[in-house]
Structure 1
């Protein structure tokens, strides 16, 4: 099955790879970031003390290189024991026979918020253990709303209102109404998928059928076209963090963003609010794109069984809560708990990030996630720039995705 593995996932040349296979008594962990989170550091030490024959040895690798490194080692036959990966890659890894299943019990599945397990599920089983999770909500600048003549305490609840408010801001102020990101960057697809999942849309269904070309997704793409004139000019020049900087500078009225934006806004003079993502006409309830990163256990490391055990150990509820609270800003909790209830009670801005989960949808799992991204980005950009009408762009994208499913 390794012949199925696509070069798009490898991302780097295999020539010159010098890494050695993991030792039989060592679980190597490709750890993404610039440092080990203090919570993980503490519990790795606890694990190692309890498992002297199977010590976990993390290797910190920068975000831009870590997944390529894990992929290269696995494809070269020298896999790490475990690696932090984007869950969107799990299907590709699984079909390439590079990772092992990490099935969950019914009790383990039930402990997560709805739909999260689906982000790591392919062919009826799980191929990774979720370790990081993000959702989005809508921020609005109350000062800009006042300047435009809008009620600063009434954010939009529907796409129709969102577009109308953006138009009002653009026409009555020198600010942009909405911050739409359409740069050639992965989060351009993510930003659009939040609209898809707030209108009950899908990209690919459980039977592996491409269902992108649907009335629900067409409505989302049409809404993108309709809000573009009232967004920051030149949307294709910005990815989401660059657009967030414009919002933090007080130059845009509304923005969908992660909870880390609330942390940053606390240090500004902006009068702001955050609410649920506005809903499309076919929405069944509050929604959002559910993005998870996971721990994948690689095949032929010699420590697969213990690596699975460790992956479940390091992501168990009390450790995960400590990681989410003190680790990377912007993580949404993976599981409901008393600790989450206390967090929401203390800071109400958390609530919309939790509310959107119930009707949220996962990053679509494809055999070539880079191919998926490229098709979706091209579709969005063609509509935002006016080079294609929504239906034309949608049909073209749906046909292109058949190659990558």
Structure 2
């Protein structure tokens, strides 16, 4: 039974990889003239008349090319990028979710940054790690986000909870109990069975002292028991099992929840919600802020058959990550800048970004510490374990033991 379950999880990953081989071509990707360059990104929310599209086009003009931008949904972008690389028809510049960078790098589909070259000296080290494989860097951060705890000040005041007094898991659980006793809902988060679920669980996982190479450690079990305990005590709703980060936020916007685990990208929605809100760090098990996962994208340059194209690709990348353009981009995307000098300007212009800037500095790359392309399988088994434990199908200990068995079976370690 355990082996069958592990195989089902592994098969799901194989199906995702199979899509890359079976997918139809990426559309009208025929290479134009030597000054026609292609640019792919995951920002489907931005049309041709957006500030982002104008910035991209301007960087193309500055590089002396006509830059044709196409936006794809995240998973579709990854599939198309892999297929295009295999067919020798990659775009000239590619913006990727940071955990995907090492996947394409291992397939030798991306050019190392130092071969362009682009100077990475001012970029935050913890953000650069996400694009590193075997000591070589393949991506330049365009901005970063992470998670923290939003709170409803009116709900907390009614429950006589001081958010500044929450330093560890025990403090938070006690606060949720007080909130619930006053007839409010405690906390909402997203535990959906995909990368969003893993992303939301990682601060608690890492905040327990757990390591992604040992999914079934006592510390990891403690983190999953924390979430399961909240559901059992009705401090968090059962809907979290299917919540993504958007639906979780919509629950918080009803005004009935004390806390919501969510990201920088919800700051504009929080301001527009009418809720008197605040933000505190996610507490670790024994005190202090827990490290979240570094979110955000990286600018990469795919391998080209004609290496003469790299010179202008480098100019495009350097333009996109110049100080002024990073500030523009990160404002549009609600990102924290990946360069310390720019975050100081962000703090001055928008003080509400301060807790997010601090959280991003503590964030970890999901593929860091040489996890590289092992991370997607680890993540899939982790989100499966979380879902099975929260639904009651398995105990937290058994769910994580099965997850570790599946990872060990695949990697032989």
TM-score strictly above 0.5: yes
| 1:144 and 2:155 are equivalent in the alignment | yes
Distance 1:346 1:269 in 2: 22
Query: Could you tell me which of 325, 334, 340 is aligned with 2:338?
Result: 334
Query: Could you tell me which of 194, 212, 222 is aligned with 1:185?
Result: 194
1:172–1:9 CA distance, 2 compared to 1 (3 A): same
1:391–1:7 CA distance, 2 compared to 1 (3 A): closer
Equivalent pair of 1:145/1:151 in contact (CA under 8 Å): yes
Distance 1:223 1:180 in 2: 13
1:186–1:298 CA distance, 2 compared to 1 (3 A): same
| 1:76 and 2:87 are equivalent in the alignment | yes
| 1:35 and 2:38 are equivalent in the alignment | no
Question: Which is richer in helix?
Answer: 2
Equivalent pair of 1:286/1:358 in contact (CA under 8 Å): no
1:9–1:100 CA distance, 2 compared to 1 (3 A): farther
Distance 2:125 2:219 in 1: 21
| 1:213 and 2:226 are equivalent in the alignment | no
> Alpha-carbon deviations, 1:51-70, whole Å to 9, x = none?
43x44332234556333332
Distance 1:273 1:249 in 2: 16
> Alpha-carbon deviations, 1:283-307, whole Å to 9, x = none?
6755221123112221135223432
| 1:197 and 2:210 are equivalent in the alignment | no
1:284–1:139 CA distance, 2 compared to 1 (3 A): closer
Q: Which residue of 1 aligns with 2:97?
A: 86
Measure how far apart 1:276 and its partner are. 1.3
- In the TM superposition, 1:377-396 aligns within 5 A as 377-396=383-402
SS class of match (2:90): coil
SS class of match (2:101): helix
Distance 1:278 1:105 in 2: 40
Distance 1:368 1:287 in 2: 20
Distance 2:120 2:298 in 1: 15
Q: Which residue of 2 aligns with 1:250?
A: 255
| 1:11 and 2:22 are equivalent in the alignment | no
Q: Which residues of structure 1 form unaligned runs of 5+?
A: 204-209
> Alpha-carbon deviations, 1:177-224, whole Å to 9, x = none?
111322223211100012223344331xxxxxx233334433322222
Distance 2:127 2:32 in 1: 30
Query: Could you tell me which of 231, 241, 257 is aligned with 1:236?
Result: 241
Measure how far apart 1:264 and its partner are. 1.6
State the Cα RMSD in Å: 3.0
Equivalent pair of 1:128/1:296 in contact (CA under 8 Å): yes
| 1:118 and 2:129 are equivalent in the alignment | yes
Q: Which residue of 2 aligns with 1:102?
A: 113
SS class of match (1:132): coil
SS class of match (2:285): coil
Measure how far apart 1:321 and its partner are. 1.1
| 1:223 and 2:223 are equivalent in the alignment | no
Distance 1:153 1:181 in 2: 21
Q: Which residue of 1 aligns with 2:357?
A: 354
Q: Which residue of 2 aligns with 1:206?
A: none
Measure how far apart 1:125 and its partner are. 0.9
Equivalent pair of 1:102/1:308 in contact (CA under 8 Å): no
Measure how far apart 1:243 and its partner are. 0.8
Measure how far apart 1:103 and its partner are. 2.9
Distance 1:40 1:16 in 2: 24
SS class of match (2:144): strand
Q: Which residue of 1 aligns with 2:169?
A: 159
Give the TM-score, by structure 1 length: 0.84
Measure how far apart 1:378 and its partner are. 0.6
Give the TM-score, by structure 2 length: 0.83
Distance 1:176 1:116 in 2: 35
Measure how far apart 1:46 and its partner are. 4.9
SS class of match (2:220): helix
Aligned length: 387
> Alpha-carbon deviations, 1:136-194, whole Å to 9, x = none?
111111222233x3235545221111122122222331x32111322223211100012
Distance 2:250 2:115 in 1: 40
Q: Which residue of 2 aligns with 1:293?
A: 297
1:271–1:81 CA distance, 2 compared to 1 (3 A): same
1:51–1:345 CA distance, 2 compared to 1 (3 A): closer
Distance 2:202 2:290 in 1: 14
The answer to which of 125-134 and 256-265 deviates more is 256-265
SS class of match (1:290): coil
Equivalent pair of 1:114/1:358 in contact (CA under 8 Å): no
Equivalent pair of 1:274/1:352 in contact (CA under 8 Å): yes
Equivalent pair of 1:120/1:127 in contact (CA under 8 Å): yes
Q: Which residues of structure 2 form unaligned runs of 5+?
A: 1-12
Measure how far apart 1:133 and its partner are. 1.4
Equivalent pair of 2:169/2:285 in contact (CA under 8 Å): yes
Distance 1:17 1:275 in 2: 42
Equivalent pair of 2:382/2:400 in contact (CA under 8 Å): no
